[in-house]
Amino acid sequence: MQSKLIEDGKKKPEEIVKILRETPWKKEPYSKQNWGNWLHHMSPYVGKMKPAIANILVEISSNKKEVVLDPFCGVGTIPLEADLLGRIAIGVDLNPYAFAISCAKFDRRPMNDLLSWLNEITLDFNSVNLDGIFNSFKKFYSEKTLKEIIALRKLILKEKQYFLLGCLLGILHGHRPGHLSAVTSLVIPFPPKTKPQYKEVIPRMIEKVKRMYRNEFPLKTEGRIIHADARKLPLQKNEVDVIISSPPYYDTLDYIQDNRLRLELLEFDEKKRYELKENLIQDKYTYLEEMSKTGLELRRVLKPQSLCIFVLGDSKNGKKIINTAQEVGNVYERLGFSVLGITDDWMPTNKALPSSFKRKKLDRFLVMINDK
Protein backbone atom coordinates (compact mmCIF):
# COMPACT_ATOMS: atom_id res chain seq x y z
CA MET A 1 0.00 0.00 0.00
CA GLN A 2 1.58 3.26 -1.14
CA SER A 3 1.55 6.32 1.10
CA LYS A 4 -0.41 9.39 0.02
CA LEU A 5 1.11 11.90 2.43
CA ILE A 6 4.81 11.10 2.27
CA GLU A 7 6.97 10.37 -0.74
CA ASP A 8 8.74 7.03 -0.45
CA GLY A 9 12.51 7.18 0.00
CA LYS A 10 15.18 7.91 2.58
CA LYS A 11 15.05 11.39 4.07
CA LYS A 12 17.75 13.40 5.79
CA PRO A 13 17.92 12.81 9.56
CA GLU A 14 16.58 16.26 10.40
CA GLU A 15 13.66 15.72 8.02
CA ILE A 16 12.86 12.40 9.70
CA VAL A 17 12.66 14.02 13.13
CA LYS A 18 10.41 16.75 11.72
CA ILE A 19 8.06 14.24 10.05
CA LEU A 20 7.74 12.23 13.26
CA ARG A 21 6.83 15.36 15.22
CA GLU A 22 3.94 15.90 12.79
CA THR A 23 2.50 12.38 13.59
CA PRO A 24 1.28 11.74 10.02
CA TRP A 25 -0.18 8.33 11.03
CA LYS A 26 -3.00 10.25 12.72
CA LYS A 27 -4.12 11.70 9.37
CA GLU A 28 -5.91 10.03 6.49
CA PRO A 29 -5.41 7.54 4.98
CA TYR A 30 -3.30 6.16 7.84
CA SER A 31 -5.83 7.00 10.58
CA LYS A 32 -8.39 4.49 9.30
CA GLN A 33 -8.83 1.67 11.81
CA ASN A 34 -8.01 -1.17 9.41
CA TRP A 35 -5.29 0.61 7.42
CA GLY A 36 -2.72 -1.79 6.02
CA ASN A 37 -2.48 -5.31 4.67
CA TRP A 38 -4.71 -7.92 6.29
CA LEU A 39 -1.67 -10.05 7.10
CA HIS A 40 -1.15 -7.65 10.01
CA HIS A 41 -4.32 -9.12 11.54
CA MET A 42 -2.98 -12.67 11.70
CA SER A 43 -2.63 -12.71 15.47
CA PRO A 44 -2.55 -10.10 18.27
CA TYR A 45 0.36 -9.09 20.49
CA VAL A 46 0.61 -6.78 23.46
CA GLY A 47 2.31 -3.50 22.59
CA LYS A 48 1.96 -4.15 18.87
CA MET A 49 2.89 -1.21 16.64
CA LYS A 50 0.31 0.27 14.29
CA PRO A 51 1.09 -0.82 10.71
CA ALA A 52 0.76 2.80 9.56
CA ILE A 53 3.58 3.88 11.89
CA ALA A 54 5.76 1.00 10.67
CA ASN A 55 5.02 1.96 7.06
CA ILE A 56 6.01 5.58 7.60
CA LEU A 57 9.18 4.72 9.52
CA VAL A 58 10.33 2.38 6.76
CA GLU A 59 9.51 4.84 3.98
CA ILE A 60 11.32 7.84 5.45
CA SER A 61 14.44 6.01 6.68
CA SER A 62 15.30 3.61 3.84
CA ASN A 63 15.31 3.06 0.10
CA LYS A 64 14.13 0.05 -1.87
CA LYS A 65 16.45 -2.98 -1.70
CA GLU A 66 18.11 -1.71 1.49
CA VAL A 67 18.30 -4.03 4.51
CA VAL A 68 15.89 -3.11 7.31
CA LEU A 69 16.46 -4.88 10.63
CA ASP A 70 14.02 -5.15 13.50
CA PRO A 71 15.89 -6.89 16.37
CA PHE A 72 12.71 -7.07 18.50
CA CYS A 73 10.24 -7.78 15.73
CA GLY A 74 7.35 -9.17 17.78
CA VAL A 75 4.68 -10.40 15.37
CA GLY A 76 6.51 -8.90 12.41
CA THR A 77 4.77 -5.56 11.83
CA ILE A 78 7.93 -3.71 10.79
CA PRO A 79 9.46 -6.57 8.71
CA LEU A 80 6.17 -7.06 6.88
CA GLU A 81 5.85 -3.38 6.01
CA ALA A 82 9.51 -3.29 4.95
CA ASP A 83 8.95 -6.30 2.71
CA LEU A 84 5.78 -4.89 1.15
CA LEU A 85 7.67 -1.65 0.44
CA GLY A 86 10.42 -3.46 -1.46
CA ARG A 87 13.08 -3.52 1.24
CA ILE A 88 15.02 -6.58 2.40
CA ALA A 89 13.48 -7.26 5.79
CA ILE A 90 15.16 -9.07 8.68
CA GLY A 91 13.13 -9.72 11.81
CA VAL A 92 14.58 -11.18 15.01
CA ASP A 93 12.76 -12.24 18.17
CA LEU A 94 13.41 -14.57 21.09
CA ASN A 95 9.76 -15.13 21.98
CA PRO A 96 8.55 -18.37 20.27
CA TYR A 97 5.02 -17.01 19.83
CA ALA A 98 6.22 -13.78 18.23
CA PHE A 99 8.61 -15.77 16.05
CA ALA A 100 5.82 -18.13 14.93
CA ILE A 101 3.55 -15.28 13.80
CA SER A 102 6.35 -13.41 12.03
CA CYS A 103 7.37 -16.62 10.25
CA ALA A 104 3.78 -17.21 9.21
CA LYS A 105 3.64 -13.83 7.48
CA PHE A 106 6.69 -14.77 5.40
CA ASP A 107 5.62 -18.38 4.67
CA ARG A 108 3.44 -17.36 1.75
CA ARG A 109 1.71 -19.87 -0.47
CA PRO A 110 -1.19 -19.67 -2.94
CA MET A 111 -4.44 -19.46 -0.96
CA ASN A 112 -5.97 -22.40 -2.82
CA ASP A 113 -3.05 -24.62 -1.75
CA LEU A 114 -3.76 -23.85 1.88
CA LEU A 115 -7.50 -24.35 1.51
CA SER A 116 -6.97 -27.66 -0.29
CA TRP A 117 -4.68 -28.86 2.49
CA LEU A 118 -7.26 -28.00 5.14
CA ASN A 119 -10.08 -29.66 3.20
CA GLU A 120 -8.12 -32.84 2.55
CA ILE A 121 -6.64 -33.60 5.98
CA THR A 122 -8.23 -35.93 8.52
CA LEU A 123 -7.84 -34.99 12.17
CA ASP A 124 -7.09 -37.96 14.39
CA PHE A 125 -8.43 -36.23 17.48
CA ASN A 126 -9.68 -39.44 19.11
CA SER A 127 -6.07 -40.41 19.88
CA VAL A 128 -5.36 -37.11 21.67
CA ASN A 129 -4.88 -37.61 25.41
CA LEU A 130 -5.66 -34.54 27.50
CA ASP A 131 -4.60 -36.02 30.83
CA GLY A 132 -1.92 -33.95 32.49
CA ILE A 133 -1.38 -31.57 29.59
CA PHE A 134 -2.92 -28.28 28.56
CA ASN A 135 -4.70 -28.03 31.94
CA SER A 136 -4.99 -24.26 31.61
CA PHE A 137 -6.87 -24.76 28.33
CA LYS A 138 -9.79 -26.66 29.80
CA LYS A 139 -11.67 -23.61 31.07
CA PHE A 140 -11.53 -22.04 27.58
CA TYR A 141 -12.49 -24.95 25.30
CA SER A 142 -14.86 -27.87 25.07
CA GLU A 143 -13.02 -31.18 25.17
CA LYS A 144 -13.81 -31.94 21.51
CA THR A 145 -12.61 -28.52 20.33
CA LEU A 146 -9.39 -28.86 22.32
CA LYS A 147 -8.68 -32.30 20.84
CA GLU A 148 -9.19 -30.92 17.33
CA ILE A 149 -6.85 -28.00 18.06
CA ILE A 150 -4.07 -30.28 19.29
CA ALA A 151 -4.53 -32.76 16.43
CA LEU A 152 -4.36 -29.94 13.88
CA ARG A 153 -1.29 -28.43 15.53
CA LYS A 154 0.45 -31.82 15.26
CA LEU A 155 -0.23 -32.07 11.51
CA ILE A 156 0.74 -28.46 10.86
CA LEU A 157 4.12 -28.87 12.54
CA LYS A 158 4.74 -32.23 10.85
CA GLU A 159 4.20 -30.73 7.39
CA LYS A 160 5.77 -27.32 8.20
CA GLN A 161 2.65 -25.35 7.36
CA TYR A 162 3.81 -22.25 9.21
CA PHE A 163 1.26 -19.88 7.64
CA LEU A 164 -1.49 -22.14 8.98
CA LEU A 165 0.19 -22.28 12.38
CA GLY A 166 -0.07 -18.49 12.50
CA CYS A 167 -3.75 -18.68 11.57
CA LEU A 168 -4.44 -21.26 14.28
CA LEU A 169 -2.71 -19.13 16.90
CA GLY A 170 -4.70 -16.14 15.68
CA ILE A 171 -8.10 -17.75 16.26
CA LEU A 172 -7.08 -19.62 19.40
CA HIS A 173 -8.98 -17.27 21.69
CA GLY A 174 -11.07 -14.15 21.43
CA HIS A 175 -14.59 -12.77 21.52
CA ARG A 176 -15.93 -13.40 18.02
CA PRO A 177 -17.70 -16.49 16.57
CA GLY A 178 -14.61 -17.25 14.49
CA HIS A 179 -12.49 -17.77 17.60
CA LEU A 180 -12.23 -21.23 19.15
CA SER A 181 -12.50 -20.35 22.84
CA ALA A 182 -15.28 -19.31 25.14
CA VAL A 183 -15.67 -15.52 25.02
CA THR A 184 -12.52 -13.80 26.27
CA SER A 185 -10.17 -11.03 25.16
CA LEU A 186 -8.46 -11.39 21.80
CA VAL A 187 -5.16 -10.14 23.23
CA ILE A 188 -5.01 -11.37 26.85
CA PRO A 189 -6.86 -14.60 27.83
CA PHE A 190 -8.92 -13.35 30.77
CA PRO A 191 -10.91 -16.17 32.45
CA PRO A 192 -14.14 -16.67 30.46
CA LYS A 193 -17.47 -16.00 32.16
CA THR A 194 -19.38 -18.55 30.08
CA LYS A 195 -19.05 -22.30 29.69
CA PRO A 196 -17.12 -23.26 26.53
CA GLN A 197 -19.17 -24.72 23.70
CA TYR A 198 -17.98 -26.99 20.91
CA LYS A 199 -16.55 -25.07 17.96
CA GLU A 200 -15.42 -26.95 14.87
CA VAL A 201 -11.83 -26.03 14.04
CA ILE A 202 -11.38 -26.63 10.29
CA PRO A 203 -14.24 -24.39 9.04
CA ARG A 204 -12.94 -21.55 11.22
CA MET A 205 -9.42 -22.08 9.91
CA ILE A 206 -10.70 -21.91 6.33
CA GLU A 207 -12.44 -18.59 7.01
CA LYS A 208 -9.33 -17.26 8.75
CA VAL A 209 -7.15 -18.09 5.73
CA LYS A 210 -9.60 -16.34 3.40
CA ARG A 211 -9.49 -13.22 5.58
CA MET A 212 -5.70 -13.15 5.41
CA TYR A 213 -5.89 -12.96 1.60
CA ARG A 214 -8.26 -9.99 1.43
CA ASN A 215 -5.34 -7.90 0.16
CA GLU A 216 -2.78 -8.92 -2.41
CA PHE A 217 0.79 -9.55 -1.33
CA PRO A 218 3.81 -11.02 -3.14
CA LEU A 219 4.37 -14.72 -2.55
CA LYS A 220 8.11 -14.38 -3.09
CA THR A 221 10.19 -12.45 -0.60
CA GLU A 222 13.82 -11.74 0.18
CA GLY A 223 12.92 -11.18 3.83
CA ARG A 224 13.70 -13.57 6.66
CA ILE A 225 12.69 -14.08 10.26
CA ILE A 226 15.24 -15.39 12.76
CA HIS A 227 14.58 -16.97 16.15
CA ALA A 228 17.46 -15.41 18.06
CA ASP A 229 18.53 -13.09 20.85
CA ALA A 230 19.10 -9.44 19.92
CA ARG A 231 22.16 -9.54 22.18
CA LYS A 232 23.72 -12.22 19.92
CA LEU A 233 22.64 -11.45 16.38
CA PRO A 234 23.51 -14.07 13.72
CA LEU A 235 24.33 -11.31 11.22
CA GLN A 236 27.48 -10.04 9.54
CA LYS A 237 29.30 -6.83 10.38
CA ASN A 238 27.88 -3.79 8.53
CA GLU A 239 25.11 -5.92 6.99
CA VAL A 240 22.23 -3.59 7.87
CA ASP A 241 21.23 -0.23 6.31
CA VAL A 242 18.74 0.87 8.97
CA ILE A 243 17.36 -0.44 12.27
CA ILE A 244 13.73 0.20 13.15
CA SER A 245 12.29 -1.42 16.24
CA SER A 246 10.01 -1.18 19.24
CA PRO A 247 12.15 -2.77 21.98
CA PRO A 248 10.51 -4.44 24.99
CA TYR A 249 8.77 -1.92 27.21
CA TYR A 250 10.52 -1.09 30.45
CA ASP A 251 8.73 -3.35 32.97
CA THR A 252 5.23 -2.37 31.77
CA LEU A 253 4.18 -5.28 29.51
CA ASP A 254 4.36 -9.00 30.24
CA TYR A 255 5.04 -10.67 26.89
CA ILE A 256 4.91 -14.16 28.41
CA GLN A 257 1.94 -14.13 30.78
CA ASP A 258 -0.23 -12.17 28.37
CA ASN A 259 0.48 -14.73 25.61
CA ARG A 260 0.38 -17.81 27.86
CA LEU A 261 -2.29 -19.79 25.97
CA ARG A 262 -0.64 -19.31 22.62
CA LEU A 263 2.76 -20.20 24.08
CA GLU A 264 1.27 -23.29 25.65
CA LEU A 265 -0.06 -24.40 22.29
CA LEU A 266 3.57 -24.16 21.14
CA GLU A 267 4.42 -26.57 24.00
CA PHE A 268 5.79 -23.96 26.37
CA ASP A 269 4.38 -25.08 29.70
CA GLU A 270 4.58 -23.01 32.88
CA LYS A 271 8.17 -24.04 33.62
CA LYS A 272 9.38 -23.25 30.10
CA ARG A 273 7.51 -19.94 30.13
CA TYR A 274 9.22 -18.97 33.39
CA GLU A 275 12.64 -19.82 31.92
CA LEU A 276 11.80 -17.84 28.78
CA LYS A 277 10.71 -14.83 30.78
CA GLU A 278 14.00 -14.87 32.68
CA ASN A 279 15.86 -14.60 29.36
CA LEU A 280 13.86 -11.71 27.89
CA ILE A 281 14.80 -8.06 28.25
CA GLN A 282 12.03 -6.67 30.43
CA ASP A 283 13.23 -6.73 34.04
CA LYS A 284 13.44 -3.16 35.38
CA TYR A 285 16.60 -3.87 37.39
CA THR A 286 18.61 -5.12 34.40
CA TYR A 287 16.83 -3.44 31.49
CA LEU A 288 19.39 -0.79 30.66
CA GLU A 289 22.30 -3.19 31.09
CA GLU A 290 20.73 -5.69 28.67
CA MET A 291 19.77 -2.94 26.22
CA SER A 292 23.42 -1.86 26.32
CA LYS A 293 24.48 -5.38 25.27
CA THR A 294 21.98 -5.14 22.44
CA GLY A 295 23.41 -1.76 21.44
CA LEU A 296 26.89 -3.22 21.00
CA GLU A 297 25.46 -5.81 18.61
CA LEU A 298 23.44 -3.22 16.73
CA ARG A 299 26.54 -1.07 16.19
CA ARG A 300 28.37 -4.13 14.86
CA VAL A 301 25.76 -5.05 12.24
CA LEU A 302 24.71 -1.49 11.30
CA LYS A 303 26.60 0.36 8.61
CA PRO A 304 28.50 3.53 9.63
CA GLN A 305 26.46 6.74 9.66
CA SER A 306 23.22 4.75 9.45
CA LEU A 307 20.07 5.28 11.46
CA CYS A 308 18.65 3.38 14.41
CA ILE A 309 15.06 4.32 15.32
CA PHE A 310 13.40 2.99 18.47
CA VAL A 311 9.77 3.36 19.54
CA LEU A 312 9.72 3.19 23.33
CA GLY A 313 7.06 3.50 26.01
CA ASP A 314 7.48 5.29 29.31
CA SER A 315 7.65 3.35 32.57
CA LYS A 316 6.61 4.06 36.15
CA ASN A 317 8.62 3.74 39.34
CA GLY A 318 5.99 4.43 41.97
CA LYS A 319 4.62 7.84 41.02
CA LYS A 320 7.75 8.71 39.04
CA ILE A 321 7.55 8.54 35.25
CA ILE A 322 10.67 7.11 33.61
CA ASN A 323 11.42 8.46 30.13
CA THR A 324 12.70 5.23 28.63
CA ALA A 325 13.73 6.87 25.36
CA GLN A 326 15.93 9.33 27.23
CA GLU A 327 17.42 6.56 29.38
CA VAL A 328 18.19 4.33 26.40
CA GLY A 329 19.50 7.30 24.41
CA ASN A 330 21.96 8.12 27.19
CA VAL A 331 23.21 4.53 27.24
CA TYR A 332 23.56 4.35 23.46
CA GLU A 333 25.48 7.63 23.26
CA ARG A 334 28.10 6.03 25.49
CA LEU A 335 28.30 3.17 22.99
CA GLY A 336 28.96 5.45 20.02
CA PHE A 337 25.51 6.43 18.76
CA SER A 338 24.41 10.06 18.53
CA VAL A 339 20.87 11.00 19.51
CA LEU A 340 19.31 13.17 16.79
CA GLY A 341 15.94 13.68 18.44
CA ILE A 342 13.18 12.32 20.66
CA THR A 343 9.55 12.96 19.70
CA ASP A 344 6.35 12.14 21.60
CA ASP A 345 3.17 10.39 20.51
CA TRP A 346 0.11 9.95 22.72
CA MET A 347 -1.66 6.73 21.83
CA PRO A 348 -5.42 6.09 22.21
CA THR A 349 -6.60 3.53 24.77
CA ASN A 350 -7.24 -0.04 23.64
CA LYS A 351 -11.01 -0.47 23.33
CA ALA A 352 -10.66 -4.27 23.44
CA LEU A 353 -9.36 -4.29 27.03
CA PRO A 354 -11.55 -4.18 30.17
CA SER A 355 -11.85 -0.72 31.70
CA SER A 356 -9.53 -1.61 34.61
CA PHE A 357 -6.74 -2.25 32.09
CA LYS A 358 -7.24 0.92 30.04
CA ARG A 359 -4.63 3.63 30.37
CA LYS A 360 -3.31 6.49 28.29
CA LYS A 361 -0.06 5.53 26.68
CA LEU A 362 2.80 7.74 25.58
CA ASP A 363 5.25 6.42 23.02
CA ARG A 364 8.46 8.21 22.15
CA PHE A 365 10.49 7.96 18.95
CA LEU A 366 14.21 7.85 19.62
CA VAL A 367 16.19 8.66 16.45
CA MET A 368 19.92 7.87 16.55
CA ILE A 369 22.82 7.58 14.11
CA ASN A 370 25.69 5.11 14.28
CA ASP A 371 28.76 7.35 14.54
CA LYS A 372 31.42 4.80 13.56
Render pLDDT for 102-152 as a digit per residue (tens, 0 to 9): 999 999 999 999 999 999 999 988 888 887 666 778 899 999 999 999 999
Alpha-carbon distance 217 to 84, whole Å?
7
- Is 304 within 8 Å of 372 (Cβ atoms)? yes
pTM check: above 0.85: yes
- The predicted pLDDT at position 22 comes to 94
Output Rg (C-alpha) for the chain, integer angstroms.
Answer: 21
Above 80 in pLDDT, residue 276? Answer: yes
Instruction: Determine whether domain 13-96+217-259+270-370 maps to CATH 3.40.50.150.
Output: yes
Alpha-carbon distance 31 to 23, whole Å?
10
- The predicted pLDDT at position 129 comes to 82
- The predicted pLDDT at position 350 comes to 52
- Using a pLDDT cut of 90, give the percent of the chain over it: 78
Mean pLDDT, the chain, rounded, equals: 92
- The predicted pLDDT at position 353 comes to 47
- Is 140 within 8 Å of 261 (Cβ atoms)? yes
Every domain of the chain with CATH number 3.40.50.150 lies at 13-96+217-259+270-370
Mean pLDDT confidence for 218-223? 96
- The predicted pLDDT at position 260 comes to 93
Q: How confident is the model at residue 356 (pLDDT cuts 50, 70, 90)?
A: very low
Nearest-CA neighbor of 359 among 312, 328, 313?
313
- The predicted pLDDT at position 317 comes to 73
Alpha-carbon distance 164 to 136, whole Å?
23
Above 60 in pLDDT, residue 289? Answer: yes
Mean pLDDT confidence for 59-71? 97
- The predicted pLDDT at position 3 comes to 44
Q: How confident is the model at residue 326 (pLDDT cuts 50, 70, 90)?
A: very high
Answer whether the bond into residue 96 is a cis peptide, omega within 30°. Answer: no
Mean pLDDT confidence for 269-291? 91
- The predicted pLDDT at position 132 comes to 66
> 239: how many CB neighbours lie within 10 A of its CB?
15
- The predicted pLDDT at position 134 comes to 67
For 27-48, the pLDDT digits (tens) are 999 998 889 999 999 999 998 9
- Using a pLDDT cut of 70, give the percent of the chain over it: 94
String of b and e for 171-206 (b: at least 16 CB within 10 Å)? bbbbeeeebbbbbbbbbbbeebeeebeebebeebbe
Mean pLDDT confidence for 240-264? 90
Alpha-carbon distances, residue 214 vs 37, 38, 42, 129, 209 (angstroms): 8, 6, 12, 37, 9
